[in-house]
Amino acid sequence: MKRVAIVIPAYNEERFISKTTSELKSLYEIPVLIVDDGSKDSTYEKALKLADVAIRHEKNKGKGKTLLDGVHEASKISDYALLMDADYQHLPTDVKNFIYSDYEKYDIIVGKRDMSLTNMPLLRYLTNRTTTLIVSLLAGRRTYDSQSGFRMVRIESFLKIPITTFRFQMESEMLIKAGRLHQRIGFVNIKTVYGDEVSKIDPFKDTLRFIKMALEALWA
């Protein structure tokens, strides 16, 4: 097995960060890196106690920038970075679906949820279907679940992607540009989990950011 590190971006996740990290540490012998994106709560303090590596942004920079910083940090110790959220919508038990797959055949593996109205809130379902279609068209290949942040990347390949956006739209930009670079994109099934937590995605601002990113990609 190639060296793998788990990278978790976190912003105000004191509710779940200890549970997520402790379960990962109990299930796998894989280093866990947490990048705190300027949290106002105790996320960073909890990360320091449990993670193998914990770094912190003094002010909020966005999920995309947090992921980039995490992958750069992971490059010091690993060949692959497994990206997952801190809010327990990505289950630690599903990490095995990535690390026991043929991941060395791919540059990016995306966790594919069962996208249906029985599993997802209506607005999330419609948004995901729409953005996934757009990303698929711009990437030149079907992407299935463009909004899934549960991913595994070959670090060497990932760092060749010319990322220009640094908030939630970065995850879509990653797939579009990876597809255009003819990087190999694979998929594994993951569970669909929605709790009572409030999404950090701003429906208005982040939709506009996605549209801007997509238009720029269209003409690139």
Q: What is the pLDDT of residues 158-178, one digit of tens each?
A: 999 999 998 889 999 999 999
> How many Å is the maximal CA-CA distance in the chain?
47
Position 119 confidence tier, pLDDT thresholds 50, 70, 90: low
Is the pLDDT at 107 greater than 90? The verdict is yes
Per-domain boundaries in the chain: 4-219
Mean pLDDT of all residues in 16-24 = 97
Is the pLDDT at 131 greater than 80? The verdict is yes
Position 40 confidence tier, pLDDT thresholds 50, 70, 90: very high
| C-alpha closest to that of 33 among 8, 13, 56 | 8
The domain 4-219 is placed in CATH, from the list 3.20.20.140, 3.10.180.10, 3.90.550.10, 3.20.20.60, at 3.90.550.10
Structure tokens at 144: 């299935």
| C-alpha closest to that of 66 among 46, 43, 50 | 43
Q: Taking CA 91 as the corner, what is the angle to CA 87 and CA 96, rounded to the nearest 5 degrees?
A: 145
Question: Could you tell me if 32 and 78 are in contact, meaning their C-beta atoms sit under 8 angstroms apart?
Answer: no
Task: State residue 15's pLDDT score.
Answer: 95
What long-range pairs does 34-37 form, CB within 8 A, spacing at least 24? 34/8, 34/10, 34/86, 35/7, 35/8, 35/9, 35/10, 35/66, 35/67, 35/69, 35/70, 35/73, 36/10, 36/11, 37/9, 37/10, 37/11, 37/61, 37/62, 37/63, 37/65, 37/66
CA atoms within 13 A on the CB side of 125: 10
Question: Could you tell me if 155 and 75 are in contact, meaning their C-beta atoms sit under 8 angstroms apart?
Answer: yes
pTM of the entire structure? 0.90
Q: Taking CA 172 as the corner, what is the angle to CA 170 and CA 178, rounded to the nearest 5 degrees?
A: 95
